[in-house]
């Protein structure tokens, strides 16, 4: 038969014969430390805020490259109305990623207002985020809506996204932060 004692002796359990073992402050401290390790490990696996996924290797697997938007100039979507490959010569580091630009002028525009020129959802596929997934993008699949850049995975996904842009944006807006934490 087990009996528990008062709350002041929290988690002290007796066997009914006068012997007791305590789960006092030492055990509580060890539990807290273990919980913090689990929390840290969970956050260590969180996805990067900026998508730097790039194909690599013979099988075309994806790995993080450290370069945002696969090296494309995000300012050019506004200034030239199309995707333009950036150059490492015109680079801005922001949010843990290298952003490449086609010109110093575009790099300066980005540096002055990165939130304006960075794609939504850190450059992950907008449709993918709306579907609960962090997916790489192809720079050729894009749209600017209400002065915000949205990128997508491929032509087929862009077509789906275009059929309900505002609905997918609303869904992705609600899901992005939670997806990063997973």
pTM for the full predicted model: 0.74
Q: How many degrees, rounded to 5, is the angle at CA 78 between CA 165 and CA 49?
A: 65
Joined tokens for residue 168: 């997918």
pLDDT confidence bin for 57, thresholds 50/70/90: low
* pLDDT in the model for residue 56: 66
Report residue 122 as tokens: 């850190």
How far apart CA 179 and CA 174 sit, in angstroms, is: 10
Token output for 73 = 């100039």
Mean pLDDT of 171-180: 97
Angle (CA) 179-150-83 rounded to 5° is 130
Domain definitions of the chain by residue range: 3-44, 53-181
Within the chain, what is the greatest distance between any pair of CA atoms? Answer: 83
Condensed to tens digits (0 to 9), the pLDDT of residues 4-52 reads 333 333 333 334 444 444 445 444 444 434 433 333 333 446 889 999 9
Q: What is the pLDDT of residues 60-100, one digit of tens each?
A: 677 889 999 999 999 999 999 999 999 999 999 999 999 99
Q: Where does 8-103 have alpha helices with state H? A: 25-44, 76-79
- Listed in order, strand segments (DSSP E) in 36-160 are 53-56, 61-64, 87-94, 97-101, 138-145, 148-152
CA dist 145 and 121 (Å) reads 14
Split at pLDDT 50, 70, 90, the class of 53 is confident
User: Residue 21: enclosing H or E segment and its boundaries?
Assistant: strand 20-21
């Amino acid at each position: 038969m087990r009996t528990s004692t008062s709350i002041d002796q929290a988690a002290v359990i007796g066997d009914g014969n006068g012997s007791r073992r305590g789960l006092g402050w030492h055990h509580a401290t060890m539990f807290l430390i273990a919980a913090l390790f689990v929390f840290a490990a969970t956050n260590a696996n969180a996805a990067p805020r900026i998508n730097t996924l790039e194909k690599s290797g013979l099988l075309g697997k994806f790995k993080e490259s450290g370069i945002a938007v696969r090296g494309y100039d995000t300012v050019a979507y506004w200034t030239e109305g199309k995707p333009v490959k950036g150059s490492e010569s015109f680079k801005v580091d922001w949010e843990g990623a290298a952003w490449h630009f086609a010109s110093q002028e575009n790099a300066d525009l980005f540096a002055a207002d990165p939130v304006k020129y960075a794609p939504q959802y850190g450059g992950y596929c907008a449709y993918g985020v709306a579907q609960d997934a962090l997916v790489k993008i192809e720079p050729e699949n894009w749209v600017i809506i209400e002065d915000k850049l949205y990128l997508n995975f491929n032509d087929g996904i862009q077509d789906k996204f275009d059929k309900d842009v505002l609905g997918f944006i609303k869904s992705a807006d609600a899901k992005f932060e939670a997806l990063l934490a997973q």
